[in-house]
Amino acid sequence: MLSLVVRSVFLCVLAIASMQFLTVESAAEPAQNPVIWADVPDVAVIRVGDTYYMSSTTMHMSPGLPIMKSKDLVNWELLGYAYDTLADNEKLRLENGANAYGAGSWASSLRYHEGKFYVSTFSSTSGRTHIFVTDDIEACEWEEISFEPSLHDHSLVFDDDGKLYMLYGGGSLRLVELNEDLSGIKEGGFDQVVIERAERVATDDAMLHAEGTQALKVDGKYYIMNICWPRGGMRTQIVHRADSIKGPYEGRMVLQDKGVAQGCLIDTPEGDWYAVLFQDNGAVGRSPWLVPVRWEDGWPVLGVEGKAPMVLDIEDRETGLSNLVASDSFDRKPGSDLPLAWQWNHNPDDRFWSIGERKGHLRLTVGRKDDSVLQSRNILTQRAFGPTSSAVVKVDARGMTEGGRAGLIALQRNFGSIGFEVKDGERYVVMSGSDSGDSVALERIPMKSDEVYLRIDCDFRDRKDEARFYYSFNGRSWKSIGEPVEMRYTLPHFMGYRFGLYHYSDVSVGGHADFDFYKVDDIILGDDS
């Protein structure tokens, strides 16, 4: 499904361009689900004219709250992010053993109202509800409003009478009126539970109570989309409707298939309707699905004969992930922006990374001592993606000091990494794995060279969810190292696997590692596709 612009030797590619996006024009074929085979969860979508905009969740990553656009609901381009950093505290700085894995900011609400765009989210890490406002969504220059408390899985509602609300909660859904300037909950305003135990329309025994609220008004009625998870079942889509945002509401279950659920309803300029939802897609993360919708007696009917189809009746002339992932030669002037595909794991410390300090390289400098890669600052990440994906980097270790570790990681709680290590003045290439957050060296090879090529291949086909690790001295002949890692999506991290570039030390500070390039591909070793 996913193919690249170029499949030739990566050094030639990187000499031609500083970045390569995974998009190519192709002969028209039917679009297929998932429409994005990568971690793009908690989708919220609006349409303005003939253009669709989508927000999603990247939690503890910085910058965060990605904003995308599309002309067909299938191919999405990343425009930017609503914020550079969500907050500044110990968890987001990975200090004193604290972290924001699985936290940060969660499900967002996206709105267009009277010429302005609004995207809002909430955070247990900051303890606040955050609203970002702009009149030019494609420029992605947002002004922030925030207030306490943090309103879980909310949906922002601009009602016809000019009043502003947020509908939020888990299980029972509460509607609160906001101040006209969105600065907080209005004192003395409407504040009531309007849907009691919303999951009851699907089950009386829920493992996960109703959440993931997305509100929409269609033909004079208010529709509230939520999910629940019946015990022993799967993620299930439910919907409630009412003539007033305040209720009373009636509800029903509208989709229970393959765990495809949570998202919103959207119409096309031609009058067709779809639900943009997601599926728990193994280690790659939560992947967006597009499900056709028809209307019967004022209710949305999702799917085809009750099923979420694998193939869609939409012509698709593109393949790939556009700029959601990108190769990078790091051949830019100092101070240049990173490509949008890059996000830092937690808040970066800008004093200890650079591009152009050494021409054509990303330099990561150790600014403090850390005992674990998961607690180290300045891991620069991009999504891994399916069905297969590969990342290659070239690392120069000449600036590394005692205890330094630098290389490439398949990042999640159960991670696998490959990289240089300096121990007792000697250099090694080490492959390490973890099934609990603690790193275990699985193979260590003495290394005389100052430079090495590192590679991680990820295979997500049929939920294989396996990562393999390789090194090379010329970028063409690869040697396997260590053991394959069984990639697993874990709730403590709550995110699909990412490729990451890291450098940390538990012994000394001040050393640096230089990364010559980052090359991403959908071809893995031994793959004949």
Task: Let me know whether 394 and 297 are in one domain.
Answer: no
pLDDT tens-place string over residues 98-120: 999 999 999 999 999 999 999 99
pTM value is 0.94
Closest CA to 385 of 105, 88, 39, 100: 39
Same domain, residue pair 331 and 288: no
Is there a single domain that holds both residue 301 and residue 349? no
- What are the respective helix, strand and coil percentages of the chain, to the nearest 5? 5, 50, 45
Checking if the pLDDT of 213 tops 60, the result is yes
- Give the model's pLDDT for residue 527: 54
Same domain, yes or no, for 327 and 429? yes
Can you give the CATH number for the domain in which 354 is found?
2.60.120.200
Q: Burial, 287: exposed, middle or buried (Cβ in 10 Å; 0-12, 13-18, 19+)?
A: buried
Q: Is residue 4 scored above 50 in pLDDT? A: no
User: What residues have CB less than 8 Å from 161, skipping those under 6 apart?
Assistant: none
Tell me the residue type at 253: M
pLDDT over threshold 50, residue 13: no
Together in a domain, 422 and 392 = yes
Opening angle at CA 142, ends 138 and 148, nearest 5? 140
Residue 27: per-residue pLDDT: 67
Residue 15 has pLDDT above 60, yes or no: no
Q: What is the mean pLDDT of the chain?
A: 94
Separation of alpha carbons 393 and 420, rounded Å = 12
In a domain, 287, yes or no: yes
Q: Based on the fold, state whether residues 224 and 295 are members of the same structural domain.
A: yes
Select the more confidently predicted residue: 388 or 13.
388
Which CATH number covers residue 256?
Answer: 2.115.10.20
pLDDT band (50, 70, 90) for residue 320:
confident
Q: Are the C-beta atoms of residues 422 and 402 closer than 8 Å to each other? A: yes
DSSP H or E segment with residue 192 = strand 191-195
20 falls within a domain? no
| Same domain, residue pair 250 and 181 | yes
Selection from 12, 100, 18, 64 nearest residue 517 by Cα: 18
**Preceding omega of 34 cis (within 30 degrees of 0):** yes
Tell me the Cα Rg of the chain: 23
What is the residue range of 468's domain? 322-521
Report yes or no on 25 lying in a domain: no
Please check whether residues 203 and 278 belong to one and the same domain. Answer: yes
Can you give the pLDDT at residue 319?
Answer: 76
Residue 158 predicted with pLDDT over 90: yes
**Which pLDDT does position 16 carry in this prediction?**
36
Residue 28: predicted pLDDT: 80
Would you say residue 166 lies in a domain?
A: yes
Based on the structure, what is the number of domains in the chain?
A: 2
Does residue 215 fall inside a structural domain?
Answer: yes
If asked whether residues 278 and 153 sit together in one domain, one would say: yes
For residue 439, name the pLDDT band (cuts at 50, 70, 90): confident
Q: Which amino acid is at 193?
A: V
Is 217 in the same domain as 274? Answer: yes
User: Is there a cis peptide before residue 63, judged by omega within 30 degrees of 0?
Assistant: yes
Do 93 and 218 sit in the same domain of this protein? yes
4 located within any domain:
no
**Are 10 and 20 contacting, i.e. CB atoms less than 8 angstroms apart?**
no
Is residue 28 domain-resident? no
206 and 274 housed in the same domain: yes
pLDDT of the residue at 389: 98
Structure confidence by residue, pLDDT tens digits, 392-413? 999 999 999 999 999 999 999 9
Q: Does 262 reside within a domain?
A: yes
DSSP SS3 for 259? coil
Is the per-residue pLDDT at 3 higher than 80? Answer: no
- The predicted-structure confidence for 217-267, as pLDDT tens digits, reads as follows 999 999 999 999 999 999 999 999 999 999 999 999 999 999 999 999 999
Determine the pLDDT at residue 436. Answer: 75
